[in-house]
Chains A and B, each alone.
Chain A
Amino acid sequence: NAGVTQTPKFQVLKTGQSMTLQCAQDMNHNSMYWYRQDPGMGLRLIYYSASEGTTDKGEVPNGYNVSRLNKREFSLRLESAAPSQTSVYFCASSGDRGHTDTQYFGPGTRLTVL
């Protein structure tokens, strides 16, 4: 069991470039999440997917899009990167313990936008 995997681990972009962050989980979880973590701000929810085929905005969705490709995979796309999107991005999944919603996190993607 790999748990939650994310690619890439590190990325440097120039302003205006686009990229897609990939996330996959092998725990058969229904729900998946994308967060960003900035110093002093904690984890902020960007988008989430309660089940395959559904996605919803979180607290900070502007500048991002997501795709729930299938039950395993949930990708995050930056269409036109901005320096304000420099952050650490975490993907998480939940759903194996009834209604307790314990979340399992990936190792993160460290993104720098110049």
Chain B
Amino acid sequence: SQKIEQNSEALNIQEGKTATLTCNYTNYSPAYLQWYRQDPGRGPVFLLLIRENEKEKRKERLKVTFDTTLKQSLFHITASQPADSATYLCALGGNQGGKLIFGQGTELSVKP
């Protein structure tokens, strides 16, 4: 069956450092991959989308890579800030109508 795995343990980093979150998947060939941010008590919010034919996508301090051979996406936040503290979810889609398959999320904590 299709499976998505994200870092299960929380990631704690110092302000100003680069945070790197991992999303691995098996038994799936997505047309694209999305990353969402979720704050406590709130719904997820879309951040970035990367398609299967793209290696890298950037948006301000965010960078996403997508390796369809390794079946892995890396999500980087450069010059991290305490306001970046949240849970980050990856989601795969493109082959099931509009449906997405979500990972369980990784909690990021940026300390001042």
* Interface set of A (CB-CB < 8 Å, partner B): 4, 31, 33, 35, 40-45, 48, 50, 58, 90, 92, 94-95, 99-108
Contacts and interface: CB of A to CB of B under 8 A. Distances in A.
A2 B89 CA distance: 23
B42 A103 contact: no
Contacts of A35: 102
B108 to A, nearest CB: 16
A57 B45 CA distance: 24
Given A100-B49, A102-B34, A43 B98 contact: no
Contacts, number: 57
Given A42-B4, A107-B41, 11 more contacts: A31-B98, A35-B102, A42-B103, A90-B44, A92-B43, A99-B94, A100-B32, A105-B45, A106-B43, A107-B42, A107-B43
Given A43-B89, A101-B98, A90 B104 contact: no
A104 B83 CA distance: 21
Contacts of B102: 35, 42-44
Contacts of B46: 102-104
Given A42-B103, A42-B104, A48 B44 contact: no
Interface string B23-41: 0000000001010000001
Interface of B: 4, 8, 32, 34, 41-46, 49, 89, 91, 93-94, 97-100, 102-105
B98 A94 contact: yes
Nearest to B94: A101
B43 A105 contact: yes
Contacts of B32: 100
